[in-house]
Amino acid sequence: MIRHICMFKLNAENKDAKIAEFFERAESLKEIPQLKRFEVVKNDKRTPDSNYDVSLIFDFDSVEDLNTYQTSPIHLKFGEFVASVKEARACIDYEF
């Protein structure tokens, strides 16, 4: 199994609305059949502002399935939205 964790720091303006839209749009990713585990989380407001705002935590059976997800039209459309609201991104993919 491959775990894909991708974190985003969103632009400051209207951040709460952007987080809500991020969650709403992320739901479309559930349609990608290679996705075995789906979790979208947001940072707790009681923690440091330096933390990332939202994270995708997804599991795949293989790196090949992850790569298929990455090139899926559904993921690419979601990525266009994320690119328009993100300030920074960090990602890790690991086998477990």
- The pLDDT of residue 86 is 98
- The structural domains of the chain, with segments of one domain joined by +, span 2-91
- The pLDDT of residue 68 is 98
CATH (residue range 2-91): 3.30.70.100
> How does pLDDT run across 9-59, given as a tens digit for each residue?
999 999 999 999 999 999 999 999 999 999 999 999 999 999 999 999 999
> In the predicted model, what is the mean pLDDT of residues 84-92?
98
- The pLDDT of residue 23 is 98
- The pLDDT of residue 61 is 98
* Distance from C-alpha of 4 to C-alpha of 14, rounded to nearest angstrom: 27
- The pLDDT of residue 22 is 98
* Distance from C-alpha of 75 to C-alpha of 96, rounded to nearest angstrom: 23
- The pLDDT of residue 46 is 97
What's this model's pTM, rounded to 2 decimal places?
Answer: 0.94
